[in-house]
Chains A and B, each alone.
Chain A
């Protein structure tokens, strides 16, 4: 289903064609978040689409210019809120790059675990919602409880579920409790069954395939020109993954493959995400197995890492650092860094310019959603309205990241 393929001849010199205008959104239940598309329709076929974005723009880049470095972490939560830990970790790593702080291997591995859990949560939402938009509610209802289990893990680590603010510059806020480790182990053990079940439901389902194969395709050439990254680019057949191209947080230690698609259609995007969830599980297993022992859970950066409360009360230096961090008076070297991580839906980049002051001089988020959503009008040209909806859900456009 997909490209215009009917045998009705184009009307010639009979009557002039008339298009109808349809407002899809801003709060249409089938669009994900607040997007508006003004569609020029020829019957049920989209002739032209004009997306309007910015409904939840919150001026994060401007806000960041007034905030000390550790107060920017909560801002990053609200970019791609389906996988906030990845954004948090990306930000911490950017600052660590700027201040030249090396973190212990153990922190790297813990970060990898939490980032891969976040990736699973992100892909899980996206894929189950593709199911919903094709009419398969069941998969969504079955699989969604696993996102809750991931959120329970977040909660055990940092106390928050959605906008996590997890970790600190230099490491984690505290050692993970036994309960957290149990939950992670349990998740790794139990989740494959659920994912298998979900895969059985959809992957070779005739109706699902009819609906998604060759729906909203994009060629690899066009995807590259439109600066696609992440699963959407990989679905077109380009094996670019930041985790492998520029390994951060010790990703070079892990053995995993980058799944790629061939045609870049909705089905390929779905399948790439499915396979990435399996790979994420594999990475988590390796991280748990090879977790370095007897290492601290944070780096030794007293100027940025908030000291434990007991020390603040009993130790002069800790008190000074505590005060400086809370008041945001730590000095940061001058410089500019670009750091990118593989977010839930692409290369999430942080371009940070510091003039040595307490706040960034300029901080720019390279938000993959914002960049690839501009190809959407091109992708939906000439396809049916119902296909346009699943194209959008399979692209995993997250309003928070789109509008920053």
Chain B
């Protein structure tokens, strides 16, 4: 269903940004593009302002940690309500240098979503008007959604069920 949209997006993005598009795939009928961190703001601006694509609505913005635990990511879900097209844009960067330009200048609604991402993953959004914790207490000094902070104390062995690999 979204095959056509995907092809068009891929064509347009690669024509304009060449190597900045690292991965382009369609997963579960959802066009997904991975963009290099340095170009993420340009790509978002292009997607929002391009007359044909017109992804004017930011549905969701969230953080992500890759399986190797060495990279963080930010995932944008954009929406064109008029044509009902959706696209997912991802970008990944080193966990030790989690810096990325903010999207609040494009969508004011990104404000709290970015604060949430900062709160849980420690991604620093450069240019954000007020980047501070939102759901957790201000005094917290970890980023709790990172995989290095397991939910339960891993030294406990009373819950360790060897038979089922937990």
A: residues with CB less than 8 A from B are 53-54, 57, 59, 61-63, 65-66, 97-98, 222, 224-228, 238, 240, 245-246, 327, 329, 335-338, 340, 347, 349, 351, 353, 355, 361-362, 364, 366, 370-375, 403-404
Interface contact A351-B67, CB-CB below 8 Å: no
Does B5 sit within 8 A of A, measured CB to CB?
no
Give the CA-CA distance A246 to B84 in the complex, in Å: 8
- Given A224-B57, A227-B107, A366-B60, check contact A61 B120 (CB 8 Å): yes
Q: List 25 A-B contacts (CB under 8 A).
A: A54-B137, A61-B120, A62-B145, A62-B151, A97-B28, A222-B108, A224-B81, A227-B57, A228-B109, A240-B81, A336-B32, A337-B28, A338-B30, A340-B59, A349-B59, A349-B60, A349-B77, A351-B75, A353-B64, A362-B64, A371-B109, A371-B113, A374-B108, A374-B109, A375-B108
A116 to chain B, nearest CB (A): 22
Given A335-B27, A364-B62, A366-B59, is A54 in contact with B152 using a C-beta cutoff of 8 Å? no
Output the least CB separation between B89 and chain A (Å).
12
Q: Does B112 contact A (CB under 8 A)?
A: yes
Instruction: Give the nearest-CB partner of B82 in chain A.
Output: A240
Residues of A within 8 A of B136 (CB): 54, 57
* B88 interface hit (Cβ, 8 Å): yes
| A370 nearest in chain B by CB position | B112
Q: What is the CA–CA distance of A215 and B146 in the complex, to the nearest angstrom?
A: 42
Residues of A close to B112: CB separation below 8 A? 370-371, 373-374
Give complex CA distance A72, B164 in Å: 20
- Determine if B101 is an interface residue (Cβ-Cβ < 8 Å): no
Q: A59-B144, A224-B56, A227-B58 are in contact. Are A338 and B164 (CB under 8 A)?
A: no
Q: Which residues of B contact A371 (CB under 8 A)?
A: 109, 112-113
B166 to chain A, nearest CB (A): 9
- Asked if B164 and A327 sit within 8 Å, CB to CB, the answer is yes
Q: What 0/1 pattern do residues 97 to 116 of B give for CB contact below 8 A with A?
A: 00000000001111111001
Whether the Cβ atoms of B84 and A351 lie closer than 8 Å is no
Q: Which residue of B lies closest to A378 (CB)?
A: B108
Taken together as a complex, chains A and B put the C-alpha atoms of A307 and B67 apart, in Å, by 34
Interface residues of B in 36-58 (CB under 8 A from A): 56-58
- A61 to B65 Cα, complex, angstroms: 13
Taken together as a complex, chains A and B put the C-alpha atoms of A370 and B107 apart, in Å, by: 15
User: Does chain A have a CB within 8 A of B134?
Assistant: yes
B152 to A66, Cβ gap below 8 A? Answer: yes
Assembly CA distance A370 to B62 (angstroms): 13
Indicate with 1 or 0, residue by residue over B113-147, a CB within 8 angstroms of chain A CB atoms: 10010001000000000000011110000001100
Chain A min CB distance to B110 (Å) = 8
**Bound-complex Cα distance A227 to B113 (A):** 11
Q: When the two chains form their complex, are residues B135 and A98 in contact, meaning their CB atoms are under 8 A apart?
A: no
Interface residues of B in 66-92 (CB under 8 A from A): 67, 75, 77, 81, 84, 86, 88
